[in-house]
Each structure stands twice: as C-alpha cells, then as structure tokens.
Amino acid sequence: MQRLEKIVWLEGIFNEETVVSARAVSPAANYWQLQFIRALLNKNISVDVLGYMPEPLWPRGKLCIGSKDAGLPKNIHGKLINYINFPILRNYNISEAYLKSVKTLVGLGEKISSVVTFNDSPANKAALYLQKKFNIPWICIVADGEAPHGADGYLYLTWGYYKSTDNLGHKIHIDGGVPCVNLADTIRGNKTDEYAKIIMYMGSMSAHGGVEFLARSFSLLKDSNVELWLCGKGVNHNLRLLAKKDKRIKLKGYVDEIELNHLANKATVFVNPRPTQFAANQLNFPSKILKYLSYGKPVITTMSNGMSPEYANVCVVLEDETEKCLAATISRVIFLEKNKLIEISAKVEGFAKTHRWTDQAEKFIAWINQDLIDV
C-alpha cells in the first residue's frame, strides 16, 4: 500500500538573510511554509523545494533573477530557478522553468508521492503535468486569494473559505501551528512587572494589517508607563508621523527570530488589529495569532471569517472595530490581575497542546494517505 513519502514543494522558501533583503518576500508566508516543512521532515517525509525568488517587475526590480540571488534555509533540500522578470513574460518564464525542473526530477527516477503548490501560482502548470502524466496527487495550499481549479486536494488556512467551498476537490483546514519558543520571562514568574506595560504587534506595516488603526488607538491611552512595539517589514509614512507625535510608539522594523523572541518575552499583551471590512482580509488567516499564542499571554484580536470560532475561547475579541473600543480593551487587559493572567495562560497552553506544528503535520499526512493516495 502506497504511503506519503516524498513531496515536491513548488514555492520558494528562504533563509533569514533573503527575507530581510528581498522586498517582495512575505515573512509570514515564508515562516508558515518553513515551519510546516520542518514538521513534515520531523515525521520522516522527504521534501524537495523548487521555487523562485519574487521580485518587483522590471524596471522597479531586477530584470534577470538567478538562483544565487536568494538562499534556502538551513537543512532544507532543493533549488531556486532562474527567470526573466520582464512584464507580461514573467509568469510564462517562471511556469516554463518549473515545468523543466519537475521533468528533470522525474527523469532522474525520483519517486514523488505528492506535489504541493502555494496559492494560485505559476507552478500550477508543472503540478498539473505531474498529476496528469504520472498520477501524482496535486495539493494546493490556499493561504489567501481564490483557489485555482484542477488540484486533487486543497489545504485551507482560512476557516470561512474552507467551510464554504465544496466543489473543487478534497479539502482540509489547517491554519498553522503554535511554535515552541524560548520563554525567558513568564507570567508565572511575574517578571513582566519589571518592565513598562508593552503592547506588541508583529506583521505588515501596511494599512490592511491594521497597524495604523492600532497606533491611533494606542495614542488615546494617557498612561506614560505603556509602550507600543511594532515589528514588521515595510515602510509606512503615516505610522512614522504617529510615532513622531507619540514617543511611546516604538518602530522596531523587521527583526530576526532571536530578537523577536527577546522582545515578545517582555510584552504584556499582543494585538491583531486586522480590519475585517477589508475584503482581502476575509480570504486570509492572520497567522501572527499562532505566534502570539506561543507566549501564553493575552491576545487581543478582531474576529474575521478567516479565523476558526475556537480562537474566541483563547483570545480577547474586540467588540467593535473603533479606536475607542480598542484603546479601552488594551487598557483593561494590561491591568488584569495576576490570577486572571494565569487563567489566560492555562487556556492558551491547553489550545497549544493540540495545535503544535507536529500535530498539523500528522493531520496533513493522514489526510493525504486516506483521501488522496489510497483512493
């Protein structure tokens, strides 16, 4: 009986240096895929990564993108393809490069159990080739945007999309895993009292992430012993103006995992302020939530269709998306008594026990074996 043994993963996964330097690489998408692949590797599933380094279209970006323009993470096996980054021709060049690469793989006698793509991708043609010619199941991970037609199975990060879509193929909902982090400063140790009250945000500096909404709400707080730490990639001029007016707002920029962990351990509360009125936010999952939960501290969040109802049990859900409400919610949460913080921490730990990356990898492997390989 055949079982999942080897996956060809058709999407670029990059090391920290590339994520920092490459303008078009999404830290969140890269992090999600890297953690999932590492969990699969820990379950003895072989994963070969074939990807390309995204770049703004020429002339804003480089014309020729080579495999040496980016690096794979440590212990991830695979390669990056070359392509011409010319308008109109880019997607065709990438698609053909993917097709050539997978043909080389099968020509070398590689026994591939499944092929995985990420969102609607130029790699779809290569995945379809493996599916039609060699009967290799094609799995599409739908993180945001609409799912492409033709895959055998779909992994949805977004709860609402998973529940509403029935006509594309086999499906599974996996929004991600709660990572294991180094908890240097714990609520139970009460070391958070040594610091100012810290409100922390990780993610995009763009408007759709809600970071400006958060900064404006924070400025309504009058307490001088609170700070807002904003960590993420991108430049936001409105945010810079807000930080200039309110010195308690600290723009940390993009930081590596070690520094991010150091800052997060000092945080009092985490916030996901992503506005639900943005149409695009209905077709994605705010994966920062899982990172937040790994620290066992309160998480304030809006509640979009992308989130499973179970998050309402472990997070503080914003009652309405107004600056006044968010400011009041932050003020209430940062001054919770220690016994309430311990209660929240226990809830989060209970949630995390069944939502580790290893749990999600096991769920994914069982689904493929039952629904897509043994059929």
- Per-residue pLDDT of 117-173, as tens digits, reads 999 999 999 999 999 999 999 999 999 889 999 999 999 999 999 999 777 889 999
pLDDT digits (tens, 9 = 90+) for 303-349: 999 999 999 999 999 999 999 999 999 999 999 999 999 999 999 98
268-301: b (≥16 Cβ within 10 Å) or e: bbbbbbbebeeeebebbbbbbbbbbbbbbbbbbb
| CA pair distance 365, 153, nearest whole angstrom | 12
pLDDT band at 195, cuts 50/70/90?
low
pLDDT for 191 equals 46
- Residue 59, preceding bond cis, omega within 30 degrees? yes
**Confidence band (pLDDT; 50, 70, 90) for 193?**
very low
Residue-wise pLDDT for 245-265, tens only, equals 999 999 999 999 999 999 999
pLDDT attached to residue 2 = 65
Share of the chain above pLDDT 90, in %: 82
**Dist. CA 58–CA 44, nearest whole Å:** 40
Residue 188 has a pLDDT of 40
How many other C-beta atoms can be found within 10 angstroms of the C-beta atom of residue 247?
9
Task: Identify which of 85, 295, 288 has the alpha carbon closest to the alpha carbon of residue 175.
Answer: 288
**Which one, of 37, 89, 69, 73, lies nearest residue 81 by Cα?**
69
> pTM for the complete prediction?
0.92
φ, ψ at 153 (rounded to 5°): -145, 155
> What does the block give as tokens for 292?
């937040």
Give the chain's mean pLDDT.
92
Is pLDDT at 1 greater than 50 in this prediction? no
pLDDT > 80? residue 111:
yes
What are the distances in angstroms from CA 172 to CA 28, 155, 231, 262? 20, 5, 31, 34
Instruction: Report which of 265, 201, 197 is spatially closest to residue 233, judged by C-alpha positions.
Output: 201
Q: Place 189 in a pLDDT band, splitting at 50, 70 and 90.
A: very low
